Amino acid sequence: MLPAYQTEEPAQQVQGNLRSKLSSQAKNRGRLDVVADILDACSRPATKNAILIRANVNSVTATHMLAQMMDTRLVDTVMDEEGRVSYIGTKQGAVFLDSYRNLTAMLTPALLPESRAMRLEVDPFA
């Protein structure tokens, strides 16, 4: 008797693998998606650690992106009462995030993963 994973025909196994690879590629975020997620995380003052968690990025990516976003004045730094550096989105960042949401709303839902489409409805700067 064959193990359960070998009961399918080989062609069906290949088709299933291809389908899972295609769906996983559709979930990859682009650069603008990451910028929007970081701005969303910075809707209120946030430490780098909070940004890592909320935006789901690693430390290297966050450091690189925050530096670029500060250069383009999308994010600014503030010091809290304990002397820790926090990041907060600027008015220009809010305009970017609003424009990003408007553009992604024009896309068909089939092009956006469900989790992204649901998060776009929340306005952190309101």
Amino acid at 15: Q
CA–chain centroid gap for 5, Å, is: 34
Question: If DSSP states are collapsed to H, E and C, what string results for 86-125?
Answer: EEEECHHHHHHHHHHHHHHHHCCHHHCCHHHHHHCCCCCC
Domain coordinates in residue numbering, the chain: 29-108
- Give the span between the Cα atoms of 99 and 50, in whole angstroms: 24
The amino acid present at 14, given as its one-letter code, is V
Q: What is the topology classification, in CATH, of domain 29-108?
A: Arc Repressor Mutant, subunit A (1.10.10)
Chain segment 12-63, per-residue pLDDT in tens: 443 444 333 334 344 688 899 999 999 999 999 999 999 999 999 999 999 9
Q: Residue 74: what are its φ and ψ, rounded to 5°? A: -90, -25
pTM of the model: 0.65
Each residue's pLDDT tens digit, 53-99: 999 999 999 999 999 999 999 999 999 888 899 999 999 999 999 99
Q: Which residues pair with 78 in a beta bridge?
A: 86
Classified as helix, coil or strand, 72 is coil
